[in-house]
Amino acid sequence: MNDGTIFEQIERLSEEELALEEAHPGKRMSEPERARLREIEVQLDQCYDLLRQRRARRAAGLDPDEATVRSETTVEGYLQ
């Protein structure tokens, strides 16, 4: 996956996230919608993490294509 593809995925996920958030102004989301929103948030974190890995590898003179998508546990545990 190259940077452009990652940015496209971020854009698609961000649009879906916004649509979910705006679908019910002033009303509570359904459980499936909340679950999907959580999935989107994790996938966005994974995309941004992958971009950071690729940039770091590139800066270190390494192959950015060797960066890998990290698990939900990893990307969601950074601030804990």
Residue extents of the structural domains in the chain: 3-76
Which residues of the chain have a pLDDT value below 50?
A: none
pTM of this structure: 0.90
Give the angle subtended at the CA of 63 by the CAs of 13 and 56, to the nearest 5°. 65
pLDDT at position 78 is 75
Q: Considering only CA atoms, give the Rg of the chain.
A: 15
The predicted structure's pLDDT at residue 76: 86
User: How much of the chain, in percent, has pLDDT values that exceed 70?
Assistant: 98
What is the pLDDT, as a whole number, of residue 54?
97
- What would the DSSP string read from start to end of the chain? --HHHHHHHHHHHHHHHHHHHHSSTTSPPPHHHHHHHHHHHHHHHHHHHHHHHHHHHHHTTS-GGG--PPPHHHHHSTT-
pLDDT of residue 68: 96
pLDDT for residue 80: 58
pLDDT value of position 16: 97
